[in-house]
Structure 1
Amino acid sequence: MPHTTAKAASLIRAGFTGEVPATALPGTDRSGGLGLDHCTPEQTELRALLALACFNHGTLTAPRLRWRVGQIGAYSPVISPRFDHLVLIVSACDNVALRLVGSPTNPHIPGMRVEERLGYHLWRLRHLPTGAQMYVSERDLLPTNRSQAQRLPNLRRRLGVEQPLTADEGEKLAAVPEISSSMQRLLAGIWVRMSLRDPDGSFALGGWFTDPLDRTVERARWAPASRLWGHEGRWDLEWRGYPFPSDLTAALTHPRAGLEGVTVERTSTRSWLIRLGDAELYLHDEEL
């Protein structure tokens, strides 16, 4: 039965993502897949942009991408990707939602707007350039009763979807290099897995901020910093701190929770090459 297959898949998915099964269920495939990468082109584009925003952080940040969004990893993010939207479950959802949106004079994700605040623990955001929708929810408090929806007039005037893309936002988006379709899929796949964990304890990405498995204190010496930059199908991702590179490659190639089609090749003691189709992403661990 499809329902039984989806329910079983939701239990498996929740073990990897940290969702509760009821939250994981709407994101699973009808075929029984986990659904982490099954989404609209608009969602793929938004998730790749979120990867650029989050993985340009701290002292390594690429100059054109100083959007100051990387700190969301400190809010214990649980990422729940769906086919036509995205749910980001965090501690202190107000802080994270407003960090993603920024302000008219200092947008963090150019073109991100508040569409509505639903109840007290859920924000609905819309990215104007892609049209993609995402929700930011308080951890463990995802509401189901939308009759509590509130209008926030002041926020809507300053940050609402009615506010068009500004010239400054347009310039910031124009400064983002072209990304090939295969690379978009790869970057989107990495972003939705930024908190992925193996239920058996072999890897945990910890939001690119901590090591949930407490394996060593050596990496804790480094302030989190990362840089993601490239063009079309050739990009570089370098970072200090967490996660361990082996955790990232294990998450991407896991037989159940990995990104289909990804291959990983170790090119040196500090570097790895990740391929997806014609996309090539070079990983550099700056801490070794």
Structure 2
Amino acid sequence: MDTGLSRRGLFGVGAVAASVLAGVTPASAATGTSRMTLRWWGNNSWEIVLPGVTILIDPWLTRFKTGTYTPAGADPRTPLTVNRALIDGYLDRGFLRAKHILVTHGHYDHLTDVPYLAKRTGATVIGTETHLSLMAALGTPEDQLAIASGGEDLTFDGYAVRVLRSLHSAVGARAQVPFPGSRPLSRRDRPRVIADLVEGGTLAYAVSGGGASVLNFGGSNYVESELAGLRPDVLLLPVGGAKVTQYVPRLLRVLGNPRYVAATHWDDFDLPLGQAHDPNGGLEVLRKAVAAASPASEFVVLDHLGSFTP
């Protein structure tokens, strides 16, 4: 697929899912009126650009092979690697200039690149005690780490970040969390393989600024009571959620049916950045669920590095 950095790559669905899967890329996209721009870097990696500030969520560009979408599943012994040259290339072109990096949970496809990005940008990283322990052990400067447990409502110059208690996806016949576990902040042994990056609690984030608000979940689950009263303009919604009762309709109802629902965490992240491929049809399932639960919500699917303004 074309991933030219000047292309906005927004798909409003109808013919959307079919277009994405067929590799058909529109040349341009309509934009809203806010001063917030959302750019998707694959998986649950998002760049939120506001006037004078950039916020990253779960930035992971390296995307090494693990076997996640094979019958055997991810090989827990897969070594952790960071493609510094790839990341540097985007930084040198003016991307990823982060003030904050928000970590939803500790798994490799969410956390592996964060320590390097934090060192390069000087960003403050927010996460649980386990997330910070992992990142410190991977070399993140400790004065850049800010612990959160959910419930924090933080105001900065021109934007705000609300941290919410959340839940990881429940997968498999037993509805289990992959690579579960936690570790204290004092622990400093260095993670070497993907199984070392344990979930460590899951957070969700609501970011507001530039005349818009966005809510992100890093897994296909949530704590409904945490969401009461939230009315985001954009919901970044992961595919999946099959084990969660009324996953989509219950969530959209409690959030007041957001104007935009953008799909996240839907691509095969064993493939490199620039090859956005839906490995199991999750996009179409999610599209139908959103259309049934909230017909007025616009379903958005982006290509890698595609962006839109709500």
Same fold flag (TM > 0.5): no
Between structures 1 and 2, the one with greater helix share: 1
Q: TM-score, normalised by structure 1?
A: 0.32
Name the TM-score, length of structure 2 as normaliser: 0.30
